Amino acid sequence: MRTRQGSGTPKTVISLMSLASAMQVSLIGGGLDTSIEIDEGKSIREILLAAKIHPSTVIVSHEEQILPHNTIIEQDLTLNLIVVSSGG
């Protein structure tokens, strides 16, 4: 909050910052079951990294739909994980 001085009566200006709400995201599958609290508006990639899961090791789905790792999550939900295995 700050006060503006000028000609006449001082005016008070109140700046409100947008506060990010926390959301609860559950990650289920492949033995990686965990739940984390993270700020809303994060990508699946950011959520995986916060949960200490390397994004290239899993495919993520929600309600039987595969989601790209750049999908932004804005509410509490459960994501299903499918572990990707590769090799020769």
Domain boundaries, the chain: 20-83
Residues 6-34 have pLDDT tens digits of 556 665 544 445 556 889 999 999 888 99
Q: Minimal CA–CA distance to 40: which of 72, 15, 16, 62?
A: 72
Look at the pTM and tell me if it is higher than 0.85: no
Does residue 80 surpass a pLDDT of 80? yes
How much is the average pLDDT of 34-43? 93
Which CATH superfamily does the domain covering 20-83 fall into?
A: Beta-grasp domain (3.10.20.30)
Partners of 76 in the β-ladder: none
Structure tokens at 43: 């990508």
What pLDDT score was predicted for residue 8?
63
